[in-house]
Amino acid sequence: MRAGLPRSAVPTDLHAVLTGPGALELRAVPRPEPGPGDLLVHPDAVGVCGTDLELFSGAMTYLASGFTAYPIVPGHEWTGVVAAVGAGVTGFAAGDRVVGECAIGCGVCPRCAAGSHHLCPDRTETGIARRAGGMAGHLVFPAASAHRLPAGADPADAALVEPLSVAYRAVRRAAPARTSRWPSSGRARSACSARWSPARSA
């Protein structure tokens, strides 16, 4: 609780919370404050992909392995507007539109040092494992893993930057020749994007 404020005066947010297989509920929680190096972001568009459906159904392999556990605030494909910045943050200001990375490594292990933070054994994964996702009224997120978008970027488009970046990286790593022809099964996996506007108290 913020020092000096009565409980009734502490701002609250609504979070969508997965509490178990097939169980999703809205919870009112105290609004977080950004720590040093963090941004406080108000998400306003969130994508839903196959991983989210697996978390909802309980089929996600991370649940079986113990890498993640309920409760989970989902939403790893998200965008939002910076509401506040923590101490020591540079390059961001209130009002900036941002997106955030999914896998966030410890930053000190050999895999992180090699740029493979998505393979860090101590990583968190936004909206998936040990880090709240974008289906929240406000989200505390490390500035080092956030990316500012141009002013005027459409939120529905911005929420899909994360899955687009995954596909883009895969194509770059494959380094196909310009004349290469890629096989297709005729089926495409798609994500849907929706505005996230939970009611919250002042």
Answer yes or no: is 187 within a domain. no
Domain limits at 160?
9-173
How do residues 176-201 score in pLDDT, each as one tens digit?
A: 766 666 555 443 444 455 555 554 43
Sole residue written with tokens 């509920």: 25
DSSP string, 124-136: EETTTBSS--SSB
Answer yes or no: is 35 within a domain. yes
Q: Is-contact 68 85, C-beta < 8 A?
A: no
Pick from 66, 57, 53, 196: nearest CA to 137: 196
With H, G, I as helix, E, B as strand and everything else as coil, classify residue 82: strand
Cis, peptide link before residue 71, omega less than 30° from 0 = yes
- Out of 1-5, 25-29, 104-108, 156-160, pick the least confident: 1-5
Give me the amino acid identity at 106. Answer: C
Alpha helices in 68-113 (DSSP H): 110-113
Answer yes or no: is 189 within a domain. no
Answer yes or no: is 139 within a domain. yes
- Out of 9-18, 87-96, 120-129, 192-201, pick the least confident: 192-201
How do residues 102-139 score in pLDDT, each as one tens digit?
A: 999 999 999 999 999 999 999 999 999 999 999 999 99
What integer pLDDT is reported at residue 9 of this predicted model? 74
Answer yes or no: is 33 within a domain. yes
Answer yes or no: is 31 within a domain. yes
CATH of the domain at 43: 3.90.180.10
What integer pLDDT is reported at residue 62 of this predicted model? 98
Could you tell me the two tokens for 169? 């990286």
Answer yes or no: is 3 within a domain. no
Answer yes or no: is 78 within a domain. yes
d(CA 21, CA 54): 9
Domain count, the chain: 1
What integer pLDDT is reported at residue 10 of this predicted model? 83
Give me the amino acid identity at 93. Answer: A
How do residues 48-69 score in pLDDT, each as one tens digit?
A: 999 999 999 999 999 999 999 9
Mean pLDDT over 13-31 rounds to 97
